[in-house]
């Protein structure tokens, strides 16, 4: 299927939407469970990245060639795991993965004693591992904080398996900090001694993990698209999302606060849990007082940019640096696609982007998705304002395989 055409019959949006489980939690829990050698995980993500991570962890004992495909977390977490487990073989990935830098992580693991070589281009996958045990005594590594937090999480996760533990000194500004906190919380749940000792210092003590059971929370990044749908739907719209917690370890739970201003109220439901989203009037004065900083929640930027454009809110966004090295250059992709609807995301100062929107209209445009699941899901809610076609809709399998089915259940099809 190369196109998904979406239309809306009108009237308020109502219903319950099934969310995928958190991929970020699932992949960290899988690695902690593996290193703990036990425990039961429930509500694991069905996303391709998590299925792949589980498979590669299982195959590592017998295979000498592993393929992380297009999954950044899998490539980074497996690199760290394979290094500490003394594996011998080659870890490769899709063509796009071979363009995503991994030198920061490899340099760190080499400093801990790992023997890792680049098979093709220096600094990029594929990687050859030549076994050997990491026996470095108490190590402290300096790691740049402004690159992907996945490098930091990958090193932290294997820290308890090192004979001397691991201290990471984060240099420069630190992006995506909630993902580091998520990693530490899950490590502690599995019995590891790990903590943030200072804003620029995180540490894991030696001593490994203990088996534990864990139920993965639903994914707040996926919930963001339902916030967008309620924001753009007719008055009186309301959607229920099961499986979300008021006390969440996921950084993207901040979507509930951002979207309050853009017309969506969040009510946490007792008993079974989850939230009910209800459309409320816009209240953007405070939101427009200063740029909204996405440093800690980069996966929400596309969603919020599209909603602001459709609502004609001249929102300013900052902290988008990491978007350039995601599945695609997400800044350029959002700009290209917004222009089709009469809007734009213009850099008005270094690193500050403003949503500019006049005569915004949805009337049959086709949205390109750039091999990026979040482009497909962030632009689909515009179908509540007019007919819309999404190219290559299967990209959503990366994080939310049932997305189109869930939209169809509430009448967006």
Whole-angstrom Cα distance, residue 73 to residue 26?
A: 11
Of these residues, 49, 67, 252, 299, which one is catalytic?
Answer: 299
> Does the residue 203 lie in any domain?
no
Q: What does the pLDDT read at residue 189?
A: 97
Judge if 222 and 159 occupy the same domain: no
Q: CATH no. for residue 115?
A: 3.65.10.10
Q: What's the rounded mean pLDDT across residues 39-43?
A: 96
The answer to whether residue 87 scores a pLDDT higher than 90 is yes
Whole-angstrom Cα distance, residue 28 to residue 351?
A: 31
Judge if 270 and 186 occupy the same domain: no
> Does the residue 197 lie in any domain?
no
> Does the residue 207 lie in any domain?
no
Backbone angles phi, psi at 260, to 5 degrees: -55, -45
- Reported confidence tier of residue 173, pLDDT bands at 50, 70, 90: confident
Tell me the sheet residues that pair with 67.
Answer: 92
Binding site feature residues for 3-phosphoshikimate: 23-24, 28, 148-150, 176, 299, 326
The answer to whether residue 301 scores a pLDDT higher than 80 is yes
- Reported confidence tier of residue 304, pLDDT bands at 50, 70, 90: very high
Scan for tokens 């950084």, then name that residue: 251
> Does the residue 129 lie in any domain?
yes
Judge if 103 and 246 occupy the same domain: no
> Does the residue 149 lie in any domain?
yes
Binding site feature residues: 23-24, 28, 72, 100, 148-150, 176, 299, 326, 330, 374, 398
Q: Is the Cβ–Cβ distance between 329 and 301 less than 8 Å?
A: no
Q: 160-164, 216-220, 285-289, 397-401: which range is least confident on average?
A: 397-401
Judge if 35 and 179 occupy the same domain: yes
Judge if 230 and 184 occupy the same domain: no
Averaged confidence pLDDT in the chain: 94
Residue-wise pLDDT tens digits, 337-382: 999 999 999 999 999 999 999 899 999 999 999 999 999 999 999 9
The answer to whether residue 1 scores a pLDDT higher than 70 is no
> Does the residue 222 lie in any domain?
yes
Helices (H) and strands (E) in the chain, counts: 13, 21
Q: What's the rounded mean pLDDT across residues 399-413?
A: 95
Judge if 85 and 158 occupy the same domain: yes
Q: Is 299 annotated as catalytic?
A: yes
Binding site feature residues for phosphoenolpyruvate: 23, 72, 100, 150, 330, 374, 398
Domain count, the chain: 2
Judge if 262 and 404 occupy the same domain: yes
Judge if 16 and 132 occupy the same domain: no
Q: What's the rounded mean pLDDT across residues 154-180?
A: 92
Judge if 16 and 55 occupy the same domain: no
pTM (2 d.p.): 0.86
The answer to whether residue 327 scores a pLDDT higher than 80 is no
Residue-wise pLDDT tens digits, 233-247: 999 999 999 999 999
* Whole-Å CA distances, 402 to 369, 411, 413: 17, 15, 13
> Does the residue 213 lie in any domain?
no
Judge if 238 and 360 occupy the same domain: yes
Q: 115-124, 170-179, 229-238: which range is least confident on average?
A: 170-179
Judge if 312 and 399 occupy the same domain: yes
> Does the residue 212 lie in any domain?
no
Supply the range of the domain harboring residue 161: 23-192
Judge if 142 and 104 occupy the same domain: yes
Of the candidates 47, 48, 56, 51, the residue with the CA atom closest to the CA atom of residue 75 = 56
Whole-angstrom Cα distance, residue 366 to residue 77?
A: 36
Q: What's the rounded mean pLDDT across residues 4-19?
A: 96
Listed residues 150, 174, 192: the one ending a domain: 192
The answer to whether residue 271 scores a pLDDT higher than 80 is no
Among residues of the chain, what percentage have pLDDT more than 70?
98
How many of the other CB atoms lie within 10 Å of CB of 296? 19
Helical H segments across 159-267, by residue range: 177-189, 220-232, 255-261
Q: What does the pLDDT read at residue 134?
A: 81
């Amino acid at each position: 299927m190369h196109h998904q055409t979406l239309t809306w019959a009108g009237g308020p949006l109502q219903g319950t939407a099934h969310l995928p489980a958190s991929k970020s939690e699932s992949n960290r829990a899988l690695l902690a469970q593996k290193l703990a050698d036990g425990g039961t995980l429930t509500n694991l993500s069905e996303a391709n990245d998590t299925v792949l991570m589980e498979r590669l962890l299982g195959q590592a004992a017998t295979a000498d060639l592993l393929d992380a495909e297009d999954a950044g977390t899998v490539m980074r977490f497996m690199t760290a795991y394979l290094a500490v487990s003394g594996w011998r073989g080659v870890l490769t990935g899709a063509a796009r993965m071979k363009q995503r830098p991994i030198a920061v992580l490899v340099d760190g693991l080499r400093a801990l004693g790992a023997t890792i070589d680049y098979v093709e281009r220096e600094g990029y996958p594929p990687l050859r591992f030549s076994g050997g045990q990491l026996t470095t005594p108490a190590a402290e590594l300096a790691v740049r904080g402004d690159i992907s937090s996945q490098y930091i999480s990958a090193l932290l996760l294997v820290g308890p398996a090192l004979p001397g533990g691991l201290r990471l000194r984060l240099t420069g500004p630190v992006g995506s900090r909630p993902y580091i906190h998520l990693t530490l919380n899950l490590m502690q749940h599995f019995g590891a001694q790990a903590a943030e000792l200072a804003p620029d210092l995180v540490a894991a003590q030696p001593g490994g993990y203990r088996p534990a059971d864990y139920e993965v929370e639903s994914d707040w990044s996926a919930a963001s698209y339902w916030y967008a749908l309620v924001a753009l739907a007719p008055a009186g719209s309301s959607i229920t999302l099961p499986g979300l917690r008021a006390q969440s370890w996921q950084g993207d739970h901040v979507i509930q606060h951002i979207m309050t201003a853009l017309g969506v109220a969040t009510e946490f439901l007792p008993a079974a849990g989850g939230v009910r989203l209800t459309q409320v009037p816009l209240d953007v004065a405070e939101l427009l007082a200063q740029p909204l900083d996405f440093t800690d929640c980069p996966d929400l930027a596309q969603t919020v940019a599209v909603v602001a454009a459709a609502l004609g809110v001249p929102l300013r966004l900052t902290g988008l640096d990491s978007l350039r090295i995601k599945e695609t250059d997400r800044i350029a992709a959002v700009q290209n696609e917004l222009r089709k609807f009469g809007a734009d995301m213009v850099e008005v100062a270094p690193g500050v982007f403003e949503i500019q929107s006049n005569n915004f209209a949805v009337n049959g445009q086709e949205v390109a998705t750039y091999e990026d699941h979040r482009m497909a899901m962030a632009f689909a809610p515009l179908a509540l304002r007019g007919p819309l076609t999404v190219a290559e809709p299967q990209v959503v399998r990366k994080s939310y395989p049932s997305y189109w089915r869930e939209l169809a259940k509430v009448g967006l099809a």
